[in-house]
Chains A and B, each alone.
Chain A
Amino acid sequence: LAKTTQPISMDSYEGQEVNITCSHNNIATNDYITWYQQFPSQGPRFIIQGYKTKVTNEVASLFIPADRKSSTLSLPRVSLSDTAVYYCLVGDPDSGGYNKLIFGAGTRLAVHP
């Protein structure tokens, strides 16, 4: 499973766009990139997943360059409720049929008024 590197923490203000970049230099051909959000004392929540280029859903966008060695989670116009830890994970969903997820340290995002 490819290792990921993210900033430990980030600060932002309400209404701003936040971009969190994740490095995954050893990503394999079959690996997907997935982002999860976790609030204190809750289980992680799936945000977005992608393989290449750009993916957008109702809460975020995921930008993946051609070499796929990094990815950027973009949160438009954050609010105080977006304060959470964000985890980037990469792996092959078909690997052994287990879909095993190994969490890195994550990025602690603090949104200020």
Chain B
Amino acid sequence: GAVVSQHPSRVICKSGTSVKIECRSLDFQATTMFWYRQFPKKSLMLMATSNEGSKATYEQGVEKDKFLINHASLTLSTLTVTSAHPEDSSFYICSASPLAGGRYEQYFGPGTRLTVT
């Protein structure tokens, strides 16, 4: 149980275009989902916290107009990278926290590798 999926697993897009990444909790409901990005050989960096039915909370230094987050249901959050540029190329990972959580047992998706050419 507790599976989180991401789609697509990898995407290549041209500079200036927008890309949408989906994060789904497959067998549980998640009030909160998180989005991270990770550069090669580096740690995960939290970008934003996404709550169902409300606006996302962005970490300092993350442009909310560039990284649009929508958490439309208890099982789906989307991250849209708008007007992507090569420096946005990275590994994007989402995680979900179960409704009946309590402890830190967050479940992570497999990640999406974005390459902007």
Chain A residues with a Cβ under 8 A of chain B: 32, 34, 36, 38, 41-46, 49, 87, 89, 91, 93-94, 97-106
Q: How large is the interface on B (under 10, 10 to 19, 20 to 34, 35 or more residues)?
A: 20 to 34
A44 and B107 CA atoms in complex are apart in Å by: 8
For B108, what are the chain A residues with a Cβ–Cβ distance below 8 Å? 36, 43-45
Chain B residues with a Cβ under 8 A of chain A: 4, 6, 31-32, 34, 36, 43-46, 49, 57, 91, 93-95, 97, 101-111, 113
Q: 18 interchain pairs (CB within 8 A)?
A: A34-B105, A41-B111, A41-B113, A43-B6, A43-B110, A45-B108, A46-B106, A49-B103, A49-B105, A87-B44, A93-B102, A93-B104, A97-B32, A99-B106, A101-B46, A101-B104, A102-B46, A105-B43
Given the contacts A98-B32, A98-B49, A100-B49, A44 and B44 also touching, CB distance less than 8 Å: yes
A100 and B32 CA atoms in complex are apart in Å by: 9
A45 and B2 CA atoms in complex are apart in Å by: 11
Asked if B109 and A43 sit within 8 Å, CB to CB, the answer is yes
Interface of B is mostly: strand
Known: A34-B104, A43-B6, A103-B45. 20 other contacts (CB 8 A): A32-B103, A34-B103, A34-B105, A36-B108, A41-B111, A43-B4, A43-B108, A43-B110, A43-B111, A44-B93, A46-B107, A49-B104, A49-B105, A94-B102, A97-B32, A99-B101, A99-B106, A101-B34, A101-B95, A103-B36
* Nearest neighbor of B4 in chain A, beta-carbon distance: A43
For A43, what are the chain B residues with a Cβ–Cβ distance below 8 Å? 4, 6, 93-95, 108-111
For B49, what are the chain A residues with a Cβ–Cβ distance below 8 Å? 98, 100
For A44, what are the chain B residues with a Cβ–Cβ distance below 8 Å? 44, 93, 95, 108
From residue A47, how far is it (CB to closest CB) to chain B in Å?
11
A103 and B36 CA atoms in complex are apart in Å by: 10
